[in-house]
Amino acid sequence: MKRWLKLAMLAMLVALPLAAQQEPAAPGRGQTLADTLEAIQQARVVTRVVFIVAHPDDEASTLLTYLPHGLGTDTTLLTLNRGEGGQNAIGPEQGKQLGILRSAELSAAMNVEGPHLYFTRVIDFGFSKTLKETLEMWQGQALEDMVRVIRTVRPNVVVNGWGGTHTGHGNHQASGYLTPLAVEAAADPSKYPDQIADGLKPWRTELVLDPVRAQGPTRGCRAPSRPGTADDRSTFRTTPHRGCRGRRARPVLGSGSVRGTRSTGFRCTNRTSTIRSR
C-alpha cells in the first residue's frame, strides 16, 4: 500500500511541471524570445513623419531613406501632383501618360527608400509663374486632400518640403503655402466635416519643419553630414547608396540628378527653436 502511495505522489510531482508548461504565458511576460520581441514591438512608440512636396522629383531622397532606415520613423511622402507637366528624358509620353510613368517610378523608388506614398487629386498643368495661378487652377482640392492625408496618417512631424519658397514655380510656392494651412485645418473639427463623417478624427501635428536651404544647386547623389552618434554610422553608410538607388529607379526624370537646392537643416515654424543638421 505504501509503495502505491509513493508512486502516486511521484506521478503528481512529475505532472505538475508539465501542466505548468502547457499553460499559455501571460501577455507581455516574454517567456520565450518570440514573446519578448512581440512585447517590445507592441510597446514601441514610433514617430510618424509626413514629408510634403509638389512634384515627383522634389523630395530629398537621402533624408527620406534615413528617416525610416536610420531613425526608425514611420515615414510618408505626400506628393501633390504626378508631374504630368514635367519632362520625359526617355520617351514621347506627355500629359496623363507621363503622369502614370512618373507615379510608377516614384512608387518603385519609395519601395527602395522606405516611405509610404500618397498623391492628391490635383494635376501638374505645366510651369506656373505664380502662386495665385496655381491656387486658382487647383480650386481648393489640394488642401482638402492634404487634410485627409494628415488625418489618416496622424503624423507627429510634418516636413514642409517647399516651406519658405516665394519665387519660382507656382506649384512649389503653393506646396509651401498650403502645408501649414493643411496642418491647421486638420486639427479643426469644423473643417471638412465630410471627412469626420467618414470616420477620420481631427489631428494636431506637434511639429512643422521648413528646410533651411544652402545657396546654389546640388547635382548628383550626395549624403548629408554624418550623424553625431557612433551607433548609427553603420546604418548611415548605407543611406546614400539606398537613396541613389531610389533616384536611379526613375529614368523618365534623367536618373541620379537631385534638383532644387541643398537643405542644410530645418527650421521649426510652429515653435521658437531651430533645428540644423550636424
* Averaged pLDDT for residues 209-218: 66
Top-confidence residue, 88 or 206: 206
Helix (H) or strand (E) holding 213: strand 207-217
- Give the CATH number of domain 46-276: 3.40.50.10320
* Cβ–Cβ under 8 Å, residues 51 and 76: yes
- Identify which of 59-63, 108-112, 224-228 has the greatest average pLDDT: 108-112
pLDDT tens-digit series, residues 70-86:
888 999 999 999 988 77
* CA-based nearest residue to 106, from 168, 180, 53, 28: 53
What counts of helices (H) and strands (E) characterise the chain?
A: 9, 7
Query: What Å distances lie between residue 66 and 73, 149, 154, 176, 274, CA to CA?
Result: 9, 22, 20, 22, 20
Q: 267 falls in which pLDDT band (50, 70, 90)? A: confident
Cell of 243: 537613396
How does the average pLDDT of the chain come out, rounded? 75
Query: What Å distances lie between residue 192 and 38, 80, 182, 206, 260, CA to CA?
Result: 38, 18, 11, 21, 33
Domain ranges, ordered by start, for the chain: 46-276
Cell of 92: 514621347
Q: What pLDDT is recorded for position 69?
A: 87
Residue 224 scores a pLDDT above 50 = no
* Cβ–Cβ under 8 Å, residues 120 and 164: no
Residue 207 scores a pLDDT above 80 = yes
